[in-house]
Amino acid sequence: MALSEQTIPQKMVRPSRWRRIWERVSILFVSKTAMIGLVIVLFWVLVAILAPLLTPFSPTEQDYEAQNQGPSAKHFLGTDSLGRDIWSRLIYGARVVLVVLPVSENFWLPGGTALWGVVLGLLVGSTLGLMGGYLGGWVDEVVMRLLDAMMSFPVILLYMIIIAAVGASATNVVLAIAIVGTPGIARLVRSLALDIRTRDYIRAAEIRGENSLYIMFVEILPNARGPIIIDAMLRVGYAIFAMGTLGFLGLGLPPPSPDWGSMVAKGRQFILAGSPWAALWPSVAIASLVVGLNLFADGLREESLRYQ
């Protein structure tokens, strides 16, 4: 009797690193909501990067013979009360929001004001949330009560207190965004840490004798990155809206910086005079960018939950 052929199990091949990255990115193409949001965000990112090539005007260049003009061949979005080209101010304003952070007159950091504010808030909030969620006990009580005290202030009032204390500048706006966003981030990370710390691989790490810092930042944080990343995308939108609010109240970037909020504040004075353009276009810019970020985050969250 012939021996039956034995089936030799094939060796499991782990997908390459680029393959795993592509599988995560491909989720975006499934969600129409995420794609619409991504297109809006990429539009503003690209015009911000290419700003010097997309307009012949400086955002601070004044033309007193072209004050409060409507859209034309020369200024296709119109001009403000000082004759400055609105399109150039919009796209250079987008640079400060999304692409560069002006630390000083001659020193710029890559990454916009809103992005740096959210990143700094993530660093501080994630650390506090991990400490509270994993260590527990009195550490959790102290951290959470301090954050609860911060959250008791209305958001706009807290922004105004911080900016009034440290002054209006791009770096101080980053600081304000980080401080205001820290409590919400910390509470999210704490809730995720409370769940993840009960998993078997956390117990295995503790049995191996790993210290608390290793467990928090190597074992817990990477396994909580999905909800944290999606929340961070939403917070960038909130930060942009907060920048617009601060600029409208006169607490944003100092003039003559092309701050979208201050553009709305100055342009609204001329709406009833028949020149709504200086207030209309920056309002549209703020709304479109915030909506784009929210659509992108919502679509990504829906598809991530579907594929879990």
- Each residue of 266-287: b (16+ CB within 10 Å) or e? bbeebeeeebbbbbbbbbebbe
Instruction: Assess whether pLDDT exceeds 90 at residue 189.
Output: yes
Half-sphere CA count of 196, side-chain side, radius 13 A: 25
- Is residue 248 situated within a structural domain? no
Token pair belonging to 15: 């997908």
- Is residue 221 situated within a structural domain? yes
Query: The whole model's pTM is what?
Result: 0.84
190: domain range? Answer: 116-232
- Is residue 13 situated within a structural domain? no
- Measured distance CA(96)–CA(259) in Å, rounded: 8
Token pair belonging to 107: 């020193």
Q: pLDDT category, 12, cuts 50, 70, 90?
A: very low
- pLDDT at res. 1: 45
- Is residue 131 situated within a structural domain? yes
Token pair belonging to 127: 């650390």
Token pair belonging to 111: 């990454």
Instruction: Assess whether pLDDT exceeds 80 at residue 15.
Output: no
Q: What is the pLDDT of residues 254-283, one digit of tens each?
A: 777 888 988 999 888 888 888 888 899 999
Q: Is the peptide bond before 256 cis (omega within 30 degrees of 0)?
A: yes
- Is residue 242 situated within a structural domain? no
Token pair belonging to 4: 């039956």
Instruction: Assess whether pLDDT exceeds 60 at residue 123.
Output: yes
Q: pLDDT category, 10, cuts 50, 70, 90?
A: very low
- pLDDT at res. 19: 66
Element (H or E) spanning 248, and its range?
A: helix 225-248
- Measured distance CA(33)–CA(244) in Å, rounded: 25
- Measured distance CA(61)–CA(85) in Å, rounded: 8
Q: What is the pLDDT of residues 286-307, one digit of tens each?
A: 999 999 999 888 887 776 655 5
Number of domains observed in the structure of the chain = 1
Q: What is the pLDDT of residues 126-160, one digit of tens each?
A: 999 999 999 888 988 999 999 988 888 888 888 88
CA angle 290, 113, 156 (to 5 degrees): 65
Q: Looking at per-residue confidence, does 302 or 223 come out higher?
A: 223
- Is residue 109 situated within a structural domain? no
